[in-house]
Structure 1
Amino acid sequence: MTTDPGDPPDAAVNVDVDVEELLKRFGLSDKEVDTYLTLLEHGEAKASTVAEAAGVSKRYVYSASEELAARGFVTVNDHVTPTTIRANPPGEVVDRLANDAQSMRPALEARFSRAEAATEPFEVVKSRVTVVKRIRQAIGEAREEVALSFPLDSIDEVADELRAAVDRGVLVLLIVTGVDEPNGDLPTDLAGMTSAARAWGQLMPSMLTVDNRAGVIAPAEMLERSNSSQQAIVLTQEQLAPVIVGSFIGNYWPAAAEAVVTDPAPLPATYGNFRHATFQAELHRRAGGTFRAQVVGRFVDSDEPVELEGEVVGVTQGLVAPATNEFPVQHTLTLDVDGERVTVGGPGAFVEDVEAEEVELTTPSS
């Protein structure tokens, strides 16, 4: 909104609002906010100019600019040399955001009026149909990671959601339970449903975690029988979801037999989920050739932010057999950074040098 110089003082624009925090509410990361605000100050600039002013790498400016352009914040002029990035007029940006928000309202209200999802941290579910519905819904909302154990006889009920998650680039770890012969009983199209799958001979509780924020625990009997008296628990408490995935990866995954491991994803690729980055790094390591990692995170000892890049010279993991980690939930990348070995871990890292927030895997030529 613009104001006329003749407008009274109470119509003036409020410049004291926390614009950085407001931009974050629209999904921009800290560095995307810094990049965008720097561009606003320059109007139009080269990536190197923005990188220096915002205190980020030039590679990051290009990556952030693509995201900002997709959301209508900036325009990337890649038809000129060198490439420049121009901030779009703020009025157009605000109008677009407002229109997007208004266009969501009918769909959100329609979902809200018929929603059955729990609003409490815990929901006790007595119906098999409802449990499967909750599992399918959670998988459909996954953005980074799905860890699921599910009976072989019922796998078709969640197959479409699993395939869609894989297509979105989600790390899908699947334990198929009640499998008598791992090499003969599994579906022929299991590879399309998962990043890595394992088989468990006995029935086990069905467990689901999605993005470390939501989970489901259901007794095996409940999913085997429609008239079971057993009850399932659906939780949305972020503090407990990591406990479930820790049990899934630490207790059940190592004991199950490896059945499917997909091919490595094309590089370059960026991962906010560190287990996914480690999984892909191990696949590329086994495929041969050299590849690098660019890491954004913090030093574990000092809590100071850090950006580093180096060749991946070691992968410690337990997602692909044989496991190379010392304890089940340990996943580590070892980088050669200017001749120095630096270890990188995920959230909560304590044995590594760096805790990563984001990892980009690249080939030397990318």
Structure 2
Amino acid sequence: MTDELRTTMERVGERFNLGEYEIDAYLAVLEHGELTASEIAAETDIPQPRVYDTVRSLSDRGLVELRESRPMKIVAVDPGDAFGDIRSSLAEMVDELEARYTAPARDTEAVSLVKSRSTILRYLEEIVADAEYELALSLTPDLLRRFRDSLEERVAAGVSVELLVTPASRAPSPEEFDYESVATEARARRGITTPVIAVADGEYSIYATQDALRDDRDRYGVIFNRSALGFLVSGFYGTVLWTTAETLATDGESRPFPRTYASIRRAVKDVHELSGEFHVEVRGRDVATGNEIHLEGPVLAHEFDASEQVASFSVAGEDGDPVSVGGLVAALEDVEAQEIVLDRS
């Protein structure tokens, strides 16, 4: 770091390093234009003996002027003048810091534990933006409003979005919020302890407590960068959270075909709910050998129950015999599907 940049950072830090008394006194003087020391004490909780030291500290920073009269008056300096030099210094400092910034590689670790609220929000933003065909979300109402524009862009781009809003008591009603513009299907779940979750295309995901977003206790988030581990989040979301929530809005039928899925549950649900015959392309692994498999053909049959916890389908193999297809870490079926492309026959 250059001496000039270090000096700038020290100057900016010194100007903004205000204590509680200094902040209270400064805001009181700003509001009234000018005050005496006694008036500041009356307007704030600053003890009378501390007022003089406090206003002199503000004067040294160029935030107020001290007019030696009887009694002494503390006069506010126009904030545009008081912070004008800092504003330009801060802008220059940020530019130079950004020039030095090296973005960390996102995929260096399979699992990352983060405790910063800003980092959790940044990863949530990245996951939403990176989704190419499928996005599963569990958001608080505040986060829903924060990411509304980004979600509208994903929906407009043809991404399937399952949105869970929690707690249900604070979720906007469908009459006052256009859920269909931000989600293929939206549900609300009761329970303040429901975690914040985002999964993009079954590969990149985050799990965080609601407390972590409130800067409260138990502040942590877990980032999963590989699909085999991200399945832990996706599976928990699909079986525990999604199936215990009430529907707010759904617009699944309007999405065009072909549709791409990372979740077997979502693919089979569309086959189950939409009429007609379907053609499917599956990329995955043989459950017994682990070898890569590519299947393509008509959907012969499917299995789907109301709880959405059972989902599979069968497609004709190379020899014409039915091959059963399940989701990630499937055991009962023949194939573990990692990516499914569904189209109308």
Determine if the TM-score, normalized by the shorter chain, exceeds 0.5: yes
2:121 maps to which of 129, 132, 154: 132
1:177-227, Cα deviation, whole Å (9 max, x unpaired):
02228793675311221222221122222122334444333322343x4x5
Q: Which runs of 5+ in 1 are unaligned?
A: 1-109
Partner Cα distance (2:304, 2:149) in 1? 28
Matching residue's letter, 2:101: S
Partner Cα distance (2:224, 2:210) in 1? 21
1:102-131, Cα deviation, whole Å (9 max, x unpaired):
xxxxxxxx799364787664243233x443
Which residue in the other structure is 2:342 paired with?
Answer: 361
1:25-67, Cα deviation, whole Å (9 max, x unpaired):
xxxxxxxxxxxxxxxxxxxxxxxxxxxxxxxxxxxxxxxxxxx
Partner Cα distance (2:316, 2:212) in 1? 50
Instruction: Tell whether the 8 Å contact from 2:164 to 2:186 is kept in structure 1 after alignment.
Output: yes
Which residue in the other structure is 2:196 paired with?
Answer: 206
Residues 211, 293 of structure 1: CA spacing in aligned structure 2 closer, same or farther, 3 A cutoff? Answer: closer
Partner Cα distance (2:114, 2:142) in 1? 24
Matching residue's letter, 1:201: R
Residues 250, 154 of structure 1: CA spacing in aligned structure 2 closer, same or farther, 3 A cutoff? Answer: same
Matching residue's letter, 1:352: E
List aligned pairs for 1:208-287, cutoff 5 A: 208-223=198-213, 225=214, 228-238=216-226, 240-264=229-253, 265-267=255-257, 269=258, 271=260, 273-275=261-263, 279-287=266-274
Matching residue's letter, 1:235: I
Partner Cα distance (2:247, 2:275) in 1? 21
1:291 maps to which of 278, 287, 310: 278
Q: Does 1:193 align with 2:193?
A: no
Which residue in the other structure is 1:65 paired with?
Answer: none
Partner Cα distance (2:205, 2:344) in 1? 35
Q: Return the index of the structure with the highest Cα Rg.
A: 2
Residues 261, 229 of structure 1: CA spacing in aligned structure 2 closer, same or farther, 3 A cutoff? Answer: same
Q: How many residues align?
A: 242
Q: Which runs of 5+ in 2 are unaligned?
A: 1-97
Question: Offset of 1:160 from its aligned partner?
Answer: 1.8
Which residue in the other structure is 1:348 paired with?
Answer: 329
Instruction: Tell whether the 8 Å contact from 2:135 to 2:201 is kept in structure 1 after alignment.
Output: yes
Residues 262, 112 of structure 1: CA spacing in aligned structure 2 closer, same or farther, 3 A cutoff? Answer: farther
Q: What is the TM-score when the length of structure 1 is the normalising length? A: 0.55
Identity of aligned pairs, percent?
25
Partner Cα distance (2:292, 2:122) in 1? 41
Question: Offset of 1:176 from its aligned partner?
Answer: 0.2
Partner Cα distance (1:363, 1:186) in 2? 33
Secondary structure of the corresponding residue to residue 155 of structure 1? helix
Secondary structure of the corresponding residue to residue 168 of structure 2? coil
Residues 255, 112 of structure 1: CA spacing in aligned structure 2 closer, same or farther, 3 A cutoff? Answer: farther
Instruction: Tell whether the 8 Å contact from 2:189 to 2:245 is kept in structure 1 after alignment.
Output: yes
Question: Offset of 1:315 from its aligned partner?
Answer: 3.2
Instruction: Tell whether the 8 Å contact from 2:205 to 2:224 is kept in structure 1 after alignment.
Output: yes
Secondary structure of the corresponding residue to residue 101 of structure 2? helix
Partner Cα distance (1:210, 1:254) in 2? 19
Partner Cα distance (2:270, 2:99) in 1? 40
